[in-house]
């Protein structure tokens, strides 16, 4: 990890989200998909903790100095301040942090699932996977169309793209998990990568377990430092044999985990009541099966954008996610 | 619990660190640092060096940062606080550890401790709440993982020890006291994130004295008792600890607090309550240090609470601390402990003071009012 003063190259809006491009050649050179950076807040305010953001794009040194792009939603005083920074302003940034997504050896067909701006780091991942000759398909979902992250660019990145919104304002009405089974089938997906609100990750991981497909999830948890010293961002992880567990740090041992290893129940509590699954053909998938279209009422926490307190994010603006 | 049989991505997070993904974390201290610490570690040696070449009488004396807490020496009076720096391994990538006064490790307990459910952290105005619940791998694994690092660290290390009984404190202290480079034990008897208040031994003078007495008697290493402001009289607890054999006192731990998300009408912490840290608690720390140092002159105090700038460190030392610890500031500025020490040196130089110890004599409160204030708990 490197700490450096980074110039803001540009500030943009992407739907309801904000994006910052930073001149950070040393960090960009080392960054890999799924990793994140910590951005320091200005001194002399009542909010002090650095804010973690997953890396949406990293362009390594070419003709220009390397840059990093992060995407965020305004959810508290920190992101409110960050949304107001101007071009050429300097920010104090530490990164790259955490473990990245890992590329499947011998597996070819990759399905990427993003909720809200959790889709942001998946763009970086999609480009890397394509550079490794993998097939990339994608599902992106959100509460409503303006919160679907970069649908047009996603179409360019993925050979097959499905979009879901909970209000039906773009793509199919429903959640990413509603279309996950058919996307797995249609694309013969061999591996799933997911980023978004934790309940969505849980639903995706459980579905993938039913389909016996490996699944890597980039999680979010409240973190004070992002450096491995505060021990606030704990995620309960099962041992390989499932016989024991330990709280590991999302910032160091994560944020990317094997979805089958996360002990979701311990972490997020009892699973919300599930509607009847549709794919009756695979009984193994029953418990983790997809929602029946138009079936029983869904719990608001499942998939798409989260309700308070946990913000959807690759790394949500953690310190203030409880707004 | 459920596990699936296949695992092409068995990332084995519970095992040794993975090879890929640039997970090359520094395993040892930077060698350049070690020399620096040795150079600064002994204030007397600096004095000695100066006598060889007599200083011009008109030259102002360059202040020294070294502090001597009745035999426990630190190269600077600014030390990384427990629970905010681990053992230093992670931070070594971002700050030259030899610039620190010392490192107080994250508290270690006898058995592995899994800690509390998330969310474990909530940012509050000028501070933060945490409820970790003393998560640590237990003393055996602590020694295996961090023992070598601590022994070779370019700074003095204080091991923070926690437990649920006197026996647990004793066993852990006995195991860590012989680690090279460990200059003291900090007995954390004030962690607020335990399930019962009577496990916060520092809330009660008699319980505090029992633990501190046992650890001080049986482990021939200086013991600092870490105290809490959340008690009827911190002075009474401090006095009891010193009578029981504490070499010094570390104060204060986080202050028990709580925050509620009014939108969801839920506590912001998984454990409901947690410890408040950061600038928000600094005046409480200053008050406690002031009261305890007036009541127990001559007893070394490590001041802790909301130090984020050099002036904050100076404030705690003016209140009576012999040195300070920096906690929460490390989270957003990994080099805070080092740069605050630089700022303290500058402050001393500007005021023509020779050492941090001189800060302790500067505050003049009217005698009778000071006495009343010291009694107001």
The predicted-structure confidence for B157-173, as pLDDT tens digits, reads as follows 999 999 999 999 999 99
Helix B310-319 / helix B336-351 crossing angle, nearest 10 deg: 70
Q: Which of B94, B130, B279 sits opposite A94 (nearest CB)?
A: B94
Q: Is the pLDDT of residue B115 over 70?
A: yes
Phi then psi for residue B29, to 5 deg, are: -70, 155
End-to-end CA distance of chain A: 30
Whether B243 has its CB under 8 Å from any CB of chain A: the answer is no
> What is the average pLDDT value for chain B, to the nearest integer?
87
Note the pTM of the prediction, 2 decimals. Answer: 0.84
Q: How far apart are CA A190 and CA A185, in angstroms?
A: 10
Output DSSP code: residue B297.
Answer: T
Cα angle A143, A303, B122 (rounded to 5 degrees) comes to: 90
Q: How far apart are CA A26 and CA B10, in angstroms?
A: 30
Which chain B residues have a beta carbon less than 8 Å from that of A309? 119, 261, 263-264, 266, 268
- Asked if A101 and A55 count as a contact pair (C-beta separation under 8 A), the reply is no
List Cβ neighbours of B328 (8 Å cut-off, separation of 6 or more).
Answer: A48, A224, B84, B127, B128, B277, B278, B306, B308
pLDDT for residue B192: 86
Residue B247 zone, left/alpha/beta (φ > 0; ψ -120 to 50; rest): alpha
User: Which residue in B238, B217, B138, B225 sits closest to B170, CA to CA?
Assistant: B217
Q: Which of B90, B121, B268 sits opposite A224 (nearest CB)?
A: B121
- Quick one: pLDDT band at residue B364, thresholds 50, 70, 90? confident
Using the Cα atoms of residue A249, residue A253, residue A256 and residue A262 in order, give the sign of their dihedral: negative
CB contact under 8 A, B121 and A247: no
Nearest residue in chain A measured CA to CA from B23: A99
Whether B14 has its CB under 8 Å from any CB of chain A: the answer is yes
- Asked if B185 and B173 count as a contact pair (C-beta separation under 8 A), the reply is yes
| Helix (H) or strand (E) segment spanning residue A138 | strand A135-142
Whether A1 has its CB under 8 Å from any CB of chain B: the answer is yes
Which chain A residues have a beta carbon less than 8 Å from that of B21? 32, 99-100, 102
- Residue A145 in tokens: 């169309």
CB contact under 8 A, A209 and B334: no
pLDDT for residue B220: 83
Q: How far apart are CA A46 and CA B311, in angstroms?
A: 18
Helix (H, G, I), strand (E, B) or coil at B8: coil
pLDDT for residue A319: 39
Catalytic residue among B191, B203, B241, B288: B191
Q: Is the pLDDT of residue B50 over 90?
A: no
Helix (H, G, I), strand (E, B) or coil at B295: helix
Q: List, for residues B62-95, the tens digit of each pLDDT value.
A: 999 999 999 999 999 999 999 999 999 999 999 9
Between residues B367 and A266, the one the model is more confident about: A266
List Cβ neighbours of A229 (8 Å cut-off, separation of 6 or more).
Answer: B84, B85, B86, B90, B91, B106, B330, B331
pLDDT for residue B361: 85
Q: Which of A107, A223, A260 sits opposite B4 (nearest CB)?
A: A260
Q: Is the pLDDT of residue B43 over 60?
A: no
Q: Which of A49, A99, A253 sits opposite B331 (nearest CB)?
A: A49
* Cis peptide leading into residue B252 (ω within 30°): yes
pLDDT for residue B193: 83
| Full 3-state SS string of A15-30 | CCEEEEEEECHHHHHH
Which chain B residues have a beta carbon less than 8 Å from that of A307? 264
Per the document, the length of chain B is: 377
Q: How far apart are CA A36 and CA A94, in angstroms?
A: 9
Which chain A residues have a beta carbon less than 8 Å from that of B14? 237, 239-240, 246, 248
Phi then psi for residue B144, to 5 deg, are: -65, -40
Nearest residue in chain B measured CA to CA from A255: B13
DSSP letters, A268-302, are H-SPPPPPPPS-TT-GGGTTTPPPPTT-SPPPTTS
CB contact under 8 A, A46 and B261: no
ipTM of the complex: 0.84
Maximum pairwise Cα distance, chain A:
60
- Quick one: pLDDT band at residue B234, thresholds 50, 70, 90? very high
Which chain B residues have a beta carbon less than 8 Å from that of A105? 8
Considering chain B, what percentage of its residues have pLDDT values greater than 70?
Answer: 81
Helix (H, G, I), strand (E, B) or coil at A44: coil
pLDDT for residue A63: 63
Q: List, for residues A62-79, the tens digit of each pLDDT value.
A: 667 799 999 999 999 999
Nearest residue in chain A measured CA to CA from B88: A229
Q: How far apart are CA B211 and CA B187, in angstroms?
A: 8
Q: How far apart are CA A58 and CA A73, in angstroms?
A: 19
Which chain B residues have a beta carbon less than 8 Å from that of A322? 119, 122, 261, 268
CA distance A315 to chain B (A): 14
Give B67's Cβ-side CA count (13 Å radius): 26
Whether B298 has its CB under 8 Å from any CB of chain A: the answer is no
Whether A24 has its CB under 8 Å from any CB of chain B: the answer is no
Across the A:B interface, residue pairs with CB atoms under 8 Å apart total: 179
Instruction: Provide the β-strand partners of residue A109.
Output: A135
Q: How far apart are CA B300 and CA B297, in angstroms?
A: 8
Which chain B residues have a beta carbon less than 8 Å from that of A100? 21
Q: Which of A48, A231, A243 sits opposite B278 (nearest CB)?
A: A48
Q: How far apart are CA A287 and CA B286, in angstroms?
A: 57
Q: How far apart are CA A245 and CA B3, in angstroms?
A: 11
* Radius of gyration over every alpha carbon of chain B, rounded to an integer in angstroms: 21
CA distance B174 to chain A (A): 25
Q: List, for residues B268-291, the tens digit of each pLDDT value.
A: 999 999 999 999 999 999 999 999
Q: Which of B90, B121, B128 sits opposite A229 (nearest CB)?
A: B90
- Low pLDDT (below 70) residues in chain A: 62-63, 273-323
Q: What separation in angstroms does the CA of A55 have from each of A19, A32, A34, A94?
A: 11, 8, 7, 12
How many helices (H) and strands (E) chain B has is answered by 11, 16
Which chain B residues have a beta carbon less than 8 Å from that of A228? 86, 90
User: Which residue in B252, B240, B253 sits closest to B296, CA to CA?
Assistant: B240
Q: Is the pLDDT of residue B179 over 80?
A: yes
Q: Where are the alpha helices (DSSP H) in B67-181?
A: 139-152, 166-176
Nearest residue in chain B measured CA to CA from A227: B90
- Asked if A114 and A149 count as a contact pair (C-beta separation under 8 A), the reply is yes
DSSP E strand stretches across chain B: 67-69, 72-74, 78-80, 102-104, 121-124, 127-130, 157-161, 182-188, 223-227, 248-251, 255-258, 260-261, 266-267, 273-277, 301-304, 323-326
- Residue B366 in tokens: 């009217």
Q: Is the pLDDT of residue B14 over 90?
A: no
Q: Is the pLDDT of residue B199 over 90?
A: no
Helix (H, G, I), strand (E, B) or coil at B345: helix
CB contact under 8 A, A230 and B20: no
pLDDT for residue B58: 58
CB contact under 8 A, B9 and A50: no
pLDDT for residue A152: 94
Whether A247 has its CB under 8 Å from any CB of chain B: the answer is yes
**Best residue of A97, A100, A232 to probe chain B, by most B CBs closer than 10 Å:** A232
Q: How far apart are CA A217 and CA A215, in angstroms?
A: 6
Q: List, for residues B245-274, the tens digit of each pLDDT value.
A: 999 999 999 999 999 999 999 999 999 999
Q: Is the pLDDT of residue B239 over 90?
A: yes
Catalytic: B84?
no
How many helices (H) and strands (E) chain A has is answered by 7, 15
Output DSSP code: residue A312.
Answer: P
Whether B246 has its CB under 8 Å from any CB of chain A: the answer is no
CB contact under 8 A, B332 and A50: yes
pLDDT for residue A65: 78
Q: How far apart are CA B268 and CA B274, in angstroms?
A: 10
CB contact under 8 A, B264 and A41: no
């Amino acid at each position: 990890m490197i700490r450096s003063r980074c110039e803001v190259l540009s500030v943009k809006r992407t739907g309801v989200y904000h994006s910052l491009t930073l001149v950070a050649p040393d960090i960009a050179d080392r960054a890999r998909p799924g990793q994140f950076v910590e951005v320091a807040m200005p001194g002399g305010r009542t909010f002090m903790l650095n804010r973690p953001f997953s890396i949406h794009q990293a362009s390594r040194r070419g003709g220009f100095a390397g840059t990093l792009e992060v995407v965020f939603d305004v959810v508290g005083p920190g992101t409110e301040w960050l949304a107001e920074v101007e071009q050429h302003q300097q920010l104090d940034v530490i990164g790259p942090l955490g473990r990245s997504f890992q590329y499947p050896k011998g597996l070819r067909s990759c399905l990427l699932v993003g909720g809200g701006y959790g889709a942001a780091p998946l763009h970086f991942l999609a480009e890397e996977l394509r550079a490794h000759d993998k097939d990339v398909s994608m599902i992106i979902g959100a509460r409503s169309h303006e919160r679907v992250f970069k649908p047009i660019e996603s179409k360019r990145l993925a050979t097959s793209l499905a979009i879901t919104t909970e209000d039906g304002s773009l793509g199919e009405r429903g959640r990413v998990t509603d279309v996950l089974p058919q996307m797995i089938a249609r694309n013969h997906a061999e591996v799933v990568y997911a980023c978004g609100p934790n309940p969505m990750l849980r639903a995706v991981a459980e579905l993938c377990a039913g389909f016996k497909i490996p699944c890597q999830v980039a999680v979010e948890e409240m973190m004070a430092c992002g450096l491995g010293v505060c021990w606030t961002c704990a995620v309960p992880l099962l041992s390989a044999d499932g016989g024991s567990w330990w709280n590991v740090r999302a910032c160091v041992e994560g944020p990317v985990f094997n979805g089958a290893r996360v002990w979701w129940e311990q972490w997020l509590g009892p699973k919300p009541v599930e509607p009847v699954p549709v794919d009756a053909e695979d009984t193994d998938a029953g418990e983790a099966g997809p929602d029946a279209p138009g079936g029983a009422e869904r719990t608001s926490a499942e998939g798409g954008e989260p309700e308070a307190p946990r913000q959807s994010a690759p790394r949500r603006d953690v310190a203030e996610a409880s707004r | 619990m459920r596990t699936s049989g296949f695992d092409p991505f068995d990332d084995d997070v519970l095992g040794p660190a993975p090879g890929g993904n640039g997970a090359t974390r520094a395993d040892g201290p930077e060698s350049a640092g070690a020399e620096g610490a040795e150079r600064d570690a002994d204030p007397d040696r600096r004095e000695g060096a100066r006598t060889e070449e007599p200083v011009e009488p008109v030259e102002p004396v360059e202040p020294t940062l070294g502090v001597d807490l009745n035999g426990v020496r630190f190269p600077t009076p600014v030390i990384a606080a427990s629970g905010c720096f681990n053992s230093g391994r992670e931070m070594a990538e971002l700050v030259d550890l030899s610039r620190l006064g010392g490192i107080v490790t994250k508290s270690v307990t006898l058995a592995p401790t899994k800690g509390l459910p998330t969310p474990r952290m909530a940012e509050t105005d000028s501070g933060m709440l945490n409820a970790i619940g003393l998560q640590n791998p237990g003393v055996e694994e602590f020694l295996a993982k961090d023992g070598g690092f601590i022994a070779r660290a370019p700074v003095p290390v204080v091991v923070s020890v926690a437990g649920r009984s006197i026996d647990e404190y004793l066993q852990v202290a006995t195991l860590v006291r012989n680690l090279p480079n460990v200059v003291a034990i900090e007995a954390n008897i004030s962690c607020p994130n335990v399930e019962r208040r009577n496990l916060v031994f520092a809330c009660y003078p008699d319980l505090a004295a029992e633990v501190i007495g046992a650890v001080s008697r049986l482990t021939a290493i200086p013991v600092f008792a870490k105290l809490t402001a959340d008690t009827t009289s911190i002075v009474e607890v401090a006095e009891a600890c010193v009578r029981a054999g504490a070499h010094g006192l570390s104060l204060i731990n986080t202050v028990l607090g709580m925050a509620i998300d009014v939108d969801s009408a839920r506590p912001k912490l998984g454990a409901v309550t947690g410890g408040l840290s950061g600038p928000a608690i600094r005046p409480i720390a200053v008050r406690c240090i002031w009261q305890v140092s007036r009541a127990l002159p001559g007893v070394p105090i490590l001041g802790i609470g909301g130090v984020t700038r050099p002036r904050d460190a100076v404030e705690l030392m003016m209140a009576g601390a012999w040195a300070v610890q920096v906690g929460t500031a490390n989270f957003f500025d990994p080099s805070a402990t080092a740069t605050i020490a630089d700022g303290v040196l500058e402050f001393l130089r500007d005021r023509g003071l020779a050492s941090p110890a001189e800060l302790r004599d500067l505050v003049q409160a009217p005698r009778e009012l000071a006495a009343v204030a010291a009694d107001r708990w």
